[in-house]
Structure 1
Amino acid sequence: MATLLHLDSSLFPTVGSTSRTVTGAFREVWEARHPHSSVVYRDLAADPVPHLDSVAASAGFADPATHTAEQATAFAARLALVEELERADAVLIGAPMYNFSIPSTLKAWLDQVILPGRTAGPASTLKGKPVTVVASRGGSYAPGTPRESFEYVQNYLGDLLSEMLSLDVDFIVPELTLARTNPAMAELIPLADASREKALEDANTKAKSLADRLVSSAA
């Protein structure tokens, strides 16, 4: 039985969130393909994990036998998140762009699960694990667009997830999501609708492909 770890970080409910809509479509196909699969869900906006502090960070670099009681408690919380990630066969992340970057709640989760010598580094326990990121954004930051240089979501997550955590990263990128609510972007509505439809098609295709691949590898 395969396990999908599904993380959402949009501030908005599904009705107002493109990233949640697309991750939901991906998950729906995954569950149809894996009727007996397990899905572990974290809504990082509704139930955020703590930001990494000096106690939890220092505990990650110290021998557990030397931990203070405070460090032991903080490290146990980090390990619970790390082990949840390690147990997953695949990961799905909703990562909308806010102010050119990822939501702080997603950054907090990443800081907690990046554990040097375990999940991070050449011998990462996550090596090769597939992760699909839905990187939605209100405008367009695609190559050749005026704001290409402001793209700090796909570039950041691509490097961090693949280089630091050794994950096998794939992206779905719905753009221009503000076109229907921002009058200044009205002329871009057809492009926005096309991008949304492509994202939903990609979610369908990629979820099927990944689910079938995991079934095949487990056989």
Structure 2
Amino acid sequence: MATLLHIDSSVFPTEASASRTVTEAFRTHWQEQHPDGTVVHRDLAAQPVPHITAAAHTAGFADPASHTPEQAAAFAERVRLIEELEQADAVLIGAPMYNYSIPSTLKAWLDNVILLGRTAGETRSAKGTPVTVVASRGGAYGPGTPREGYEYVQNYLTAVLADGLGLDVDFIVPELTMAPQNPAMSELVPLYEASRDRALREAAVKAKQLAERLAA
């Protein structure tokens, strides 16, 4: 029975969020392929995980027997999040671009699950797990665009998830999502709609491909 770890970080509800709309579509297609599967959903906007603290950080490098009560409590929360990642057969992450980067709530989750000697380093406990990231953005930041150099979502998540944790990362990128709300971008609405529709098609295709891959 396959388990999907589904993480959303948009501050907006699904009807107003490009990333949540696409992650929901992916999840729906995933569940069609895995009717008996399990989905663990973490909504980081509704229930943020603790930001990393000195106690949580230092506990990761100390013998558990030496942990102070504060370290033990903080580390237990990290372990709970790490185990969710380790036990997942696949991961789905909604990562909208806020001010050129990822939401702070998603960064907090990453800071908790990155643990040298367990998920990171020479032995990476979740290595090879497929991860689909829905990296929505209000403008256009792809190769050749004027703002290409400001794209810090895909670059950062590739470095952390793929290079750092050894996960198998794939991206779906709905862009120009601010066009319907920003009058200055009104002429870009058709391009936004095309990008949205393409992202939804990709969600359906990638969810099915992933199901077939895990069943092989």
Q: Trace 1:1-219 onto structure 2 (pairs within 5 A).
A: 1-216=1-216
Deviation of the 1:130 alpha carbon: 0.3
Give 1:24's aligned amino acid.
Answer: E
Aligned length: 216
Partner Cα distance (1:203, 1:159) in 2: 23
Structure 2 distance, partners of 1:131, 1:30, is 13
CA distance in 2, matches of 1:141, 1:193: 17
Q: Where in structure 1 are there 5+ consecutive unaligned residues? A: none
Query: What RMSD over aligned residues (CA atoms) do the two structures have, in Å?
Result: 0.5
Deviations 1:8-67 (A, max 9, x none): 000000000000000000000000010000000000000000000100000001111111
List, as ranges, runs of 4+ consecutive aligned residues in structure 1 with deviation greater than 4 Å: none
Distance 1:7 1:32 in 2: 19
* Cα displacement (A) at 1:176: 0.1
Between 1:60-69 and 1:7-16, the stretch displaced more is 60-69
TM-score between the two structures when normalised by the length of structure 1: 0.98
Matched residue type, 1:181 = Q
Deviation at 1:75, TM superposition (A): 0.6
Deviation at residue 122 of structure 1 after TM alignment: 2.4
Deviations 1:169-211 (A, max 9, x none): 0000000000011000011111100000000000000000001
Q: Deviations over 1:58-98 (max 9, x none)?
A: 00011111111111111111100000110000000000000
Structure 2: segments with no counterpart, 5+ residues: none
CA–CA distance in structure 2, aligned partners of residues 5 and 80 of structure 1: 13
- Looking at structure 2, the residues matched to 201 and 116 of structure 1 have their Cα atoms a distance apart, in angstroms, of 37
TM-score (norm 2): 0.99
Q: Secondary structure at the match of 2:93?
A: strand
* Cα offset, 1:123, TM superposition: 1.1
Identical columns (%):
69
Distance 2:191 2:173 in 1: 13
